[in-house]
Amino acid sequence: MLVAALAALVLAACQSVPSDRGIDVIYVPTPESTVSAMLELGEVRAGDVVYDLGSGDGRIPIEAARRFGARGLGVELSAERVREARANARAAGVGHLVEFRRQDLFATDLSEATVVTLYLLPDLNLRLRPKLLALKPGTRIVSHAWDMGDWRPEATREMADGSEIYLWRVPERPTP
């Protein structure tokens, strides 16, 4: 119910974004309670490298650095959001642990990530899936609101607002 209404709102808003901007998803800030739950579900800890794809104002990598001492990389197409994220990281005192790049997430090298967080749209999650499955086995993927089609999550958590967050781990590859 609430999730369907949220989906309709996000999809309608995305259709109003001018295509010449190259942005696939409008900026909808992740609630702080959801940020905390995503980091907990993803078992983020010191030593992790958290990549947030579509990082907006940087709240997920910043919180991972602030709470756990994890390093982070935020990937975002909006120059305004990248500037805001960098300022937020400096203000939080974690500018030395996080980096924000204005970059296409499909062109981003994700190989250093131990945790990848997403708040994208279903079609983008599905397009990203092959790239995510190519990451190191054990890499945790946490998505807010949208799943990965027939790739079943290891865990799901319902939030107070009715949205869900999902956790997957990149599986071991069979040995030839």
The pLDDT of residue 57 is above 70: yes
pLDDT of residue 26: 80
42-68: buried (b, 16+ CB within 10 Å) or exposed (e) per residue?
Answer: bebeeebbbbbbbbbbbbbbbbbbbbb
Q: What are phi and psi of 32, to 5 degrees?
A: -55, -40
The partner residues of 116 in beta bridges, in order of sequence, read: 51, 141
Token representation of residue 32: 């702080």
The pLDDT of residue 2 is above 50: no
Chain segment 70-117, per-residue pLDDT in tens: 999 999 999 999 999 999 999 999 999 999 999 999 999 999 999 999
The pLDDT of residue 65 is above 60: yes
Q: Which pTM was predicted?
A: 0.86
Chain segment 27-55, per-residue pLDDT in tens: 889 999 999 999 999 999 999 999 999 99
How far apart CA 168 and CA 176 sit, in angstroms, is 24
Is-contact 69 44, C-beta < 8 A? no
- Label residue 174 by pLDDT band (50, 70, 90): confident
pLDDT of residue 27: 86
- Label residue 173 by pLDDT band (50, 70, 90): confident
The pLDDT of residue 8 is above 70: no
Among 144, 148, 117, which residue's Cα sits nearest to residue 43? 117
